[in-house]
């Protein structure tokens, strides 16, 4: 019996549940912080940053990360494909 779709469906259901829980918790935390007058600008000013400097740092991080992710995937993806093809399937 093929259970691939069943396993994938179970994973997708659990993943969606986790994402929804994170979204609801974030919404509740944001509402609570907003109630007490905490804003993004006030938090950034505490650590000495501005939205512009935060965006600059995020761009620098992406400029560094994207080429390294692509470079790593050039090695990882073919290796994973070869292992997937040549290793025998795991039995239940």
| Contact (Cβ atoms closer than 8 angstroms) between residue 44 and residue 50 | yes
Return the percentage of the chain with pLDDT > 90, whole number.
Answer: 66
pLDDT at 2 over 60: no
pLDDT at 1 over 80: no
pLDDT in tens, 44-87: 999 999 989 999 999 999 999 999 999 999 999 999 999 988 88
Cβ-proximal residues to 76 (8 Å cutoff; 6+ apart), any chain: none
Give the 3-state secondary structure of residue 32. Answer: helix
Mean pLDDT of the chain: 89
Distance of alpha carbon 49 from alpha carbon 33, whole angstroms: 19
Cβ-proximal residues to 51 (8 Å cutoff; 6+ apart), any chain: 40, 41, 44
């Amino acid at each position: 019996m093929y259970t691939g779709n069943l396993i994938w469906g179970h994973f997708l259901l659990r993943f969606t549940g986790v994402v929804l829980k994170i979204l609801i918790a974030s919404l509740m935390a944001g509402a609570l912080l907003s109630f007490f007058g905490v804003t993004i600008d006030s938090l950034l000013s505490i650590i000495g940053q501005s939205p512009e400097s935060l965006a600059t740092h995020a761009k620098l991080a992406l400029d560094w990360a994207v080429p390294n992710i692509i470079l790593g995937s050039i090695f990882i993806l073919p290796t994973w494909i070869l292992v997937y093809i040549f290793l025998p399937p795991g039995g239940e």
